[in-house]
Chains A and B, each alone.
Chain A
Amino acid sequence: MKKILFILVSFVTAFALQAAALPDNVYFRAMKDEMDRTLKEYRIEKGPELFYLAYKLEFNQKAEAGASFGKRFPFDQSENLRIMVQANVGSYKNDSLGFFSDTRRYKGITLASHTYEGIRQSLWQVSDRQILKQQKSYEEKQAYKKQKQIKKDNFYDFAPIKPSSYVEELTEFMPPAQDHLEKLAEKLSTQGKDYSFIENFETYILVSKTTKFFLNSEGSFSQYSVPKVMVIFRGKVRHEKGYVFYPQEVISFSALTPERETLLEQKADEFLQKLLVFHKAPMAEAYIGPVLFKPSEAGVLIARGLDLSNITPFLDSMNDTDPSASPLRDKVGMRIMSPGINVYDRPLLREYKGTKAGFSPMDDEGVLAQDLLLVSKGKLKNLPLSRRSGKRGKSNGHGFAFSDQPRENTTTLVVEPENPLSQKELEEKLLARCRELELEYCYIAHDDSLFERIDMKSGKREFVLGLDMTYSAKRALRDILATGDDFNLENGVIVPSLLVDEVELEPKEMIPERKPLIPRP
C-alpha cells in the first residue's frame, strides 16, 4: 500500500506544473486567433448565441516495427495532427448540449496541415459545422423539453468556471532507431520457430507520442504529451483436438528502456509457454463456485462493475431514458463493493510499475482533473463529475470525450483494499471456501480465457481451456471475499487479485477445425 502511494505522489509533484501564460507556439497562436475571430464575427440570425467554443489538437507521431518467427514485417512511421472542435450555443443555463438528436454522428474531427494557416483553416471548417449542429440541437432540445414538459430548475446546463491551465514543456519525439526496433521485434518473435504446433507468432512494437493542446473561450488551456510504447504478442495455436486459438498479449509502457527490453524477452518466453498450454491443456467442464481473479481478469471485473461513465443522463430524442447513463449514478452512500475496499480515481498518474496509465491533467471542459475517493469501505462515496452534472455537484474535472460531447468518466481506477493478503494466504482462502462448499475443483481465472484448475483431493494444478465466465459484475463486486497484494495496472485499473465468492464457468461451444493438409514448414 505504501509503495503505491509513494509512486502516485512522486508523479504528481514531478509533472503537475502550472503555467499562467498561453504557450507561444504555432498551435496556440492559430487556436487563439481563429477562436477570437469566430467569437467576434460569427452571428446566428434569430437564433441562440454562440457562447462557448473549445479546440483540441492532437499531434500523433508513431513508429511501428513487427516481426514473425524472427523476420521483420515492413516498418511503419507516420504522423498526423487531429483537430477537434466543441461548440455550445444558447446560454450556460440553457444550452445545446446534453441532448441526443440525429446529428450525433458528426464528431467534429478532421486532420490538419501542420502550419498556422492550415490549423486555422481546419478549425474554421470544423467550427462552422459544429456551430450549425449545435444550433439544430438547441432548437430540437427546446422542442423536446416543451413536449415532455420538462421544467426549468436552478441548475446550470453547463456550469461556468474560472479558467485554469496546465502546461508542460514540449519535447521532441525520439523513437528508437528503426533498425533497433526491427531487431528487437525479430528477437522477441524468433523463439516460436522451434515449436511446430505454433502456426503463427507475431510481435509488434509501437512507439508513439501524442501531444495534446487544448484551449477554450473561457481562457482555460493545457499542453502536455503522452508517450506510449505498446508491445503486442499474437499467436495462432492448434489444440491437439483441433480447436484453433488466437491468444494475444498487450504490454504497454510509457518508454522503452534497456531493462524493459530484457523484461520483454521474458514476456515473450512466457507467452510461448502460454501457447503451449493452449496446445495441450484439457478442456474443462461446467463449474459454479468461488473463483480467484488474477489482476488481468480483476481489472476487467472492476471496469465492468464500477461503471461510473455518463453520470448525468442526457435528454434523448430516441429513448425515454438515456440507456448509456451509469447505473451507479444514484447510489452514493450505498454499499456497492465488499467492505474493506477503497477505490480512487487518479487522473494525474502517468504510469504504474512501468505500465502507462490514463494521464489526464485537465478534462475536456477545461477543468483541472482532481483525484477522487470513489468507494470508501465498500460504499460509493463520490462520483466523477463534469460541468453538466447539475444537481449532483460541481465538476471535479472528469468531463471527457472531446470528439463527441464531454461526459463524466473515470481515468485510472486504483483499488486499495484495507487488508490485502499475500498470494499464499489468498489461495488458502480460496481452497478453504471450496472445501466448505464441498467442491471437486477450485478455479483461478487468468487472461485469454485461461483457467487454472485445482483438484481439491490431490491438490494437482493444471491449466484448462474452453470456459466462459458468467457473472454479474455489479453483484460480483459485493461478493469479493478477499484481495491479494499483487497489484498491477490492468484494463485501466490498478488492482490486485480478487477472490469472488460465486462465479459460473460454462463450457464454450467450440468446433474443431480440419488439420492443415500439409505440416508447417
Chain B
Amino acid sequence: MFSLPSAATICDIQAQEPIQLLEAELKRGLKTYKKQKPPIYYLSYTYSELLVRNLWVYAGGVASKSEQEKRSLSVLARAGNTKMDNSRYLKGESKKDYVAYRSMPLGGKAFSIALWDATQRAVKSAQEVLSQVQSNNQVASERADDSPDFVMPPVSVYCRHEEYAPIDMQKIEDLLKEASLSVRGNKIVLGSSFDFFQKQGHTYFLDSNGTKLKTPVNLGRISYSVWGEKADGAYIERSNSYDIISPEGVPSLETLVADVKKSLAELEALFHAPDAEPLTAPAILKNKAMGVFVHEILGHRVEGHRQKIDSFGKTFTDKLGQQIMPSFLSIVDDPTLAYFKNIPLRGFYEYDDEGVKAQPVTIVENGVLKNFLMNASPIKGFPVSNGHGRASLGNSPVARMGVTRLVSSQSVSYEELEKMLIEKVKEQGKPYGFIIEDLSGGFTQTDSFAPQTFKLEPTLVYRVYPDGKKEVVRGADLVGTPLVSFSKILATADDDDVFNGNCGAESGWVPVSAIAPSVLLDSIEVEKTAKSSSKPPQLPPPFSLPERGNK
C-alpha cells in the first residue's frame, strides 16, 4: 500500500544545512552536558521548515487568510539515566518534563545562537525536573511498573526530499467562495464556514545517539461545516472534509457543491427531526464513525506509556493474550500506510518523533490483545519502541496512534448488515434500532479515579424500525464502557472507509487516520444530548430569502 510520491528523492543527509548546524551545536556541547551533575545523557533536536497556509471563507468572501513560512525547533533533553530521568510521570502530580521550543532565523550563525539558547533552556529545565522526580520518588508509593523511563532508540539515518507541486491558492479561494454561496437562501443555516489548511515542508531530526533524519511533511485539507439551532436550544451541524496532498486532490466545484447540498438536506432533516429518547438497542456504527469509535475507545487505552502511569485506568494492561473482542476482528496500527482506496492518510509517517522507524503493530489479533503501541518509554514485557512516539513541536513524544485499522475476517455487504440490524431489533423486541452515520467526537475517561466510561457525540443518527423505515433523530449521545462495547460487535460489512482527523493528547495535536468497516452492535446505549440555554436569533438570516439579492 505504501508508495513514495513521485517527486520524492532520496537525498544526502550530510549535505543538508540544518543537519550540519544541528550536529555542530550538538557536538560542541555534548561532552560538557554529559559531565554535568546530573548528566544530560540524551539530547534530540527536531527542526521543521514549513509553509503554512490558512484560508477561511464564508458568504462568498474571505474572512481571514494567511500564508507563513514557519521554521521551528524543539529541543528535548534527558537528565539522569535511562532508569530514571526527567520524563517520568510524577505520582500525584502532573508530568513536568520540558521541551524548549522556538521560532528560528534562517541559517548561519544566527541559527546556531538560537539553537544554543534553546539547548541551554532545555538542559537547565531537564536537570531541575529530574530533581523533582527524585524527590517524588522518595515520598511516593511504589510504582506498579518499575520499567526504565527511556530506552535508547536504534540509530537511523534517512533523508528524503519532496518537491511539492504548487497549489493555486487563487483557485482554492475562488472554489471556496463559490461553494460558500450554495448555502445562500437556506433558512435553517445560521452559520457556515469553508476552510483550507495546508502544511508543506520537511522535518529534520538529530539526536545524541547518532540518528539523522529528513522527512517530508505534506498535509492539506479543504473542509466545510454548516450549522443551525432549534428554538429549544438544540444545536445541529453537518460537515465534510477532503484531504489533499497534491493539486489533483482538490475537489471540483460540482463535487463540492453537491456535497454541500447533501449536507444541507441532512441539516434540514435534523432540524425537523424528533428528539432522541434514551434507549438501549441494536445499532450499526457506520464505517467512519466506527473508525472514531476504535480510536477513542480502544486506541488511547493501548498506548504503551499509559500502562505504567499509576493514575491511568489500565483497562487493557493485564489483558494481554486475552480475548477482548470477537475472534473475527483484528486491529492494526500501521503508520507506513500512505493511502487507502486512493485517499491520502493523515496518520502516515516514515519515522516517529523519537527517530524510530514506523512499523505496523498488531494490537488485536483474532480478538486477542497482542501488543501495545510503544514509544521509547518501556513497560513490562515491551522493552523497546515500535515506532509510535509522536508529538507536535514543543511537546515531548508519548505513544500515539498513526493509522489505526479495524480488520474483519468475516464481512457481509452493507445491505445485509442493515437486514441483520432489523432482525436484531425484532428479536430483542425493541421499537427500533439505530444507524450511527457520523460522529463529531466525544470523550473517554481513562483516569483510575473515574469510571472507565465513554461518551460519543454523533451528528447524524437514524432510527430504523422493524418495517425497515428510517427516520433521522437528533440529540442522541452514545455512552458505554470499552470492554462491554467491543464484545457486543456481531458482524461487519465490507465497506471499509477512512476517517482522517487530528488527535489531541498530552504530546499535542498529531494527524491520525482510522480505517474501519461498518459494524453491527448487539446493543448500544443512547442518551439525550445537552441543549444550549441560548435561543436562536430572533430575525432570520439576512439572506434567507433569495429575493433579497446581493449587492
Residues of A whose CB lies within 8 Å of any CB of B are 26, 29-30, 33-34, 37-38, 41-43, 67-81, 111-118, 120-121, 124-125, 128-129, 131-132, 193, 199-200, 236, 514, 516-518, 520-521
**Shortest CB–CB separation between residue A277 and chain B, in angstroms?**
21
In contact, A125 and B116 (Cβ under 8 angstroms): no
Q: Which of A69, A71, A113 contacts B60 (CB 8 A)?
A: A113
Q: Are A118 and B58 within 8 A (Cβ)?
A: yes
Q: Is B384's beta carbon under 8 Å from chain A?
A: no
Contact, CB under 8 Å: B63 / A71: no
Q: How far is the CB of A390 from chain B (nearest CB, A)?
A: 31
List the 10 closest pairs (A to B, CB-CB), nearest first: A115-B61, A71-B110, A118-B59, A113-B61, A69-B110, A128-B537, A71-B105, A74-B69, A521-B112, A78-B66
**Residue on B with the closest CB to A40?**
B539
The interface residues of chain A lying within 8 Å CB-to-CB of B105 are 67-69, 71-73
B60 and A516: CB pair below 8 A? Answer: no
A433 to chain B, nearest CB (A): 44
Bound together, the chains give a CA A236 to CA B114 distance in angstroms of 12
Are A124 and B117 closer than 8 Å at their CB atoms? no
Asked whether A75 lies within 8 Å of B551 as measured between CB atoms, the reply is no
B29's contact among A72, A111, A517, by CB below 8 Å, is which?
A517
Contact yes or no, A37 B32, CB < 8 A = no
> Which residues of chain B are within 8 angstroms of A67 by Cβ–Cβ distance?
105, 110
Q: Which residues of B contact A (CB under 8 A)?
A: 25, 28-29, 32-33, 36, 56-71, 103-117, 120, 123-124, 180, 184, 190-191, 534-535, 537-539, 541-543, 550-551
Residues of chain B with a CB closer than 8 A to A112's CB:
63
Contacts of B190 in A (CB 8 A): 125
Whose C-beta in chain B lies nearest to the C-beta of A30? Answer: B551
Q: A33-B551, A81-B63 are in contact. Are A121 and B112 (CB under 8 A)?
A: no
Q: Provide a sorted-by-A list of 23 A–B residue pairs whose CB atoms are within 8 angstroms.
A: A26-B551, A67-B110, A68-B110, A68-B114, A71-B105, A74-B103, A76-B66, A78-B64, A113-B60, A114-B62, A115-B61, A117-B59, A117-B542, A117-B543, A120-B542, A121-B542, A124-B542, A128-B538, A193-B110, A199-B117, A200-B117, A517-B29, A517-B123
- B-chain residues with CB within 8 Å of residue A30 when the two chains form the complex: 551
A26 to B111, CA, bound (A): 46
Contact of A114 among B29, B63, B120 (CB under 8 A): B63
Contact partners of B66 in chain A: CB under 8 A: 76-78
Residues of A within 8 A of B33 (CB): 517
Q: State which of A29, A111, A121, A193 has its C-beta within 8 Å of the C-beta of B59.
A: A121
Cross-chain pair count, CB within 8 angstroms: 144
CB distance from A431 to the nearest CB of B (A): 42
Whether B60 and A518, one on each chain, are in contact in the complex, defined by CB atoms closer than 8 angstroms, is no
Give the shortest distance, in Å, between B367 (CB) and chain A (any CB).
Answer: 50
The CA-CA distance from A116 to B33 in the complex, in Å, is 61
In the complex, the answer to whether A517 meets B110 with C-beta atoms within 8 Å is no
- Complex CA gap A177/B96 in Å reads 44
Q: Which of B63, B111, B124 contacts A111 (CB 8 A)?
A: B63
Name the contact of A29 in the complex, choosing from B61, B65, B191, B551 (C-beta under 8 A): B551
C-alpha gap A117/B117 in the complex (Å): 49
Task: Give Cα A432–Cα B61 distance, bound, in whole angstroms.
Answer: 67
Rounded to whole Å, the gap between the CB of B196 and the closest CB of chain A is: 14
Chain B residues positioned under 8 Å from A115 (CB to CB): 59-61
B68 & A76 in contact (Cβ 8 Å cutoff): yes
Known contacts: A111-B63, A128-B537, A128-B539. The answer to whether A193 contacts B191 by CB under 8 A is no
Closest Cβ of chain A: how far from B183's Cβ, in Å? 10
User: In whole angstroms, how far apart are the Cα atoms of A75 and B63 in the complex?
Assistant: 21
Chain B CB within 10 Å — which of A73, A76, A121 has the most?
Answer: A121
Cα(A79)–Cα(B113), bound, Å = 32
B115, B184, B539: the one within 8 Å of A42 (CB): B539
The reply to whether B28 and A69 form a contact with Cβ atoms under 8 Å apart is no
B29 lies within 8 A of A200 (CB): no
Most buried by A among B25, B62, B124: B62
Known: A37-B539, A118-B61, A520-B113. A71 touches B106 (CB 8 A): yes
In the bound complex, residues from chain A placing their C-beta under 8 Å from that of B123 are 517
Nearest-CB residue, chain A, relative to B181: A117
Asked if A70 and B542 sit within 8 Å, CB to CB, the answer is: no
Q: Whole-angstrom distance from the CB of A196 to the nearest CB of chain B?
A: 10
B29 pairs with A34, CB closer than 8 A: no
B128 to chain A, nearest CB (A): 10
Is the Cβ of B25 less than 8 Å from the Cβ of A521? yes
